[in-house]
Amino acid sequence: MTAQANNTAPLVVHLIYRLDFGGLETLLVERINRMPAAHYRHAVVCLTGYTAFADKITKPGVQLFALHKQPGLSLGTHAALFALLRRLRPTILHTYNLSALEYAPAALLAGVPVRINGLHGRDAGDPQGRNRKHNLLRRLMLPFYDCCYANSADMLAWNRTVIGVAENKSRLLSNGIDADKFTPQGSVVRHFEAETIVIGTVGRIQDVKDHATLLRAFVLLHARLPQVRLAIVGGGPLLAALQAQAGQAGVAHLVWLPGARTDVAAILRGFDMFALSSIAEGTPGSALEAMASSLPVVGTRVGGVPEVLADGVTGLLVPPSDAPAMAAALERYVLDAAMRLEHGAAGRARVERHYNMAAMVAAYESLYDALCEHKKQFRKSAKSCVE
């Protein structure tokens, strides 16, 4: 591949609220790193800013920008994005979730031919997608997008029935993970002593993940089974509040809260089971990583979680925000090592069959190809009509 070939490949600008440790962000970086450089170039524009997580972008030539958006409408951010897009001249603007949705008109005015929005989950303040103001914005933005995809069947159906996304403008793009990286074999990080049973989770500590309910469930469970321990791995705005909650409950010495980590695969191998307490989810990448690591998963029955987690086969489903129900499900695994092994092995097999990384990257590239070709044909037809 020559440098010239790489320089002439179509440019995709990814517009995201903030580039930091998180599931959506991890998969975005994986797609950028893995998509053939001769096919597409990439740039990442952060509405607010980015952290050291950006160092995970290993592909040469990927530009990174921060617009430093202020709270509220921030019309200056629209103007700044317009100017940046005019300079970069991308072929595709790919926006993520509601926080970046409103910037498609600026892209249209800047002459970006293809505009895509991805629905990867909903905010904690509106887990069911019932906020009228937000849904009105989603509907108003539809004409400015060529495709509004979703990463779970649940989200896809909601997009079509509630927002009114036309079938020819929507599709399902499931998440994928590197099953070779997240395996039961390899180095292990285990914070607690060997004779304990470790319940673990990995994810950004924010409202939508509802770690507070998981911690309450752990307190209930530990009262019955003192050998259990809890690990909550991830940084985020609620980390300090969660540490305070553990201290107030008298279990701080039984709960590991290390913040954001880069050795997640090794940490997962030190867990005995995985817990997902979210009140809203698309396709949960953290659960897929746990399953690839042969861990059984207790997850909430929200969003795309039931699509990923086969209840009674690879894990157990419980209602959201229900600490007693989560404690009861976790207890089943604590008391039954054979079931842990059986469900963990089934989870690994399910990931290998349905959620591999190569298929995910190929699906996104196929979407880009199809939309670029459609726009090219449309322009040819329009030119012919004028002539």
Q: pLDDT tens digits, residue range 244-269?
A: 999 999 999 999 999 999 899 999 99
Q: Fill in the DSSP letter of residue 160.
A: I
The list of the chain residues with pLDDT below 70 reads 1-6, 378-387
Q: Fill in the DSSP letter of residue 90.
A: -
Instruction: Report pTM.
Output: 0.84
Q: Which amino acid is at 37?
A: A
Q: Find where tokens 């509106």 sit.
A: 126
Phi, psi angles (nearest 5°) of residue 41: -95, 165
Which tokens belong to 48? Answer: 């607010």
Length of the chain: 387
Task: Compute the distance between CA of residue 149 and CA of residue 151 in angstroms, rounded to an integer.
Answer: 7
Which tokens belong to 112? Answer: 């970006």
Specify whether the CB–CB gap between 160 and 170 falls below 8 A: yes
* Sign of torsion over alpha carbons 118, 153, 174, 122: positive
Q: pLDDT tens digits, residue range 345-387?
A: 999 999 999 999 999 999 999 999 999 998 887 666 555 454 5
Specify whether the CB–CB gap between 135 and 119 falls below 8 A: no
Whole-number pLDDT of residue 73: 86
Helix (H, G, I), strand (E, B) or coil at 276: strand
Whole-number pLDDT of residue 374: 87
Whole-number pLDDT of residue 122: 84
Task: Compute the distance between CA of residue 2 and CA of residue 378 in angstroms, rounded to an integer.
Answer: 30
Q: Counting beta carbons within 10 angstroms of the beta carbon of residue 93, is it exposed (0 to 12), middle (13 to 18) or buried (19 or more)?
A: buried
Specify whether the CB–CB gap between 9 and 39 falls below 8 A: yes
Specify whether the CB–CB gap between 82 and 243 falls below 8 A: no
Task: Compute the distance between CA of residue 318 and CA of residue 213 in angstroms, rounded to an integer.
Answer: 12
Task: Compute the distance between CA of residue 313 and CA of residue 299 in angstroms, rounded to an integer.
Answer: 13
Which tokens belong to 79? Answer: 């103007």
Whole-number pLDDT of residue 379: 64
Specify whether the CB–CB gap between 225 and 334 falls below 8 A: yes
Task: Compute the distance between CA of residue 105 and CA of residue 110 in angstroms, rounded to an integer.
Answer: 8
Whole-number pLDDT of residue 1: 29
Specify whether the CB–CB gap between 336 and 188 falls below 8 A: no
Whole-number pLDDT of residue 4: 36
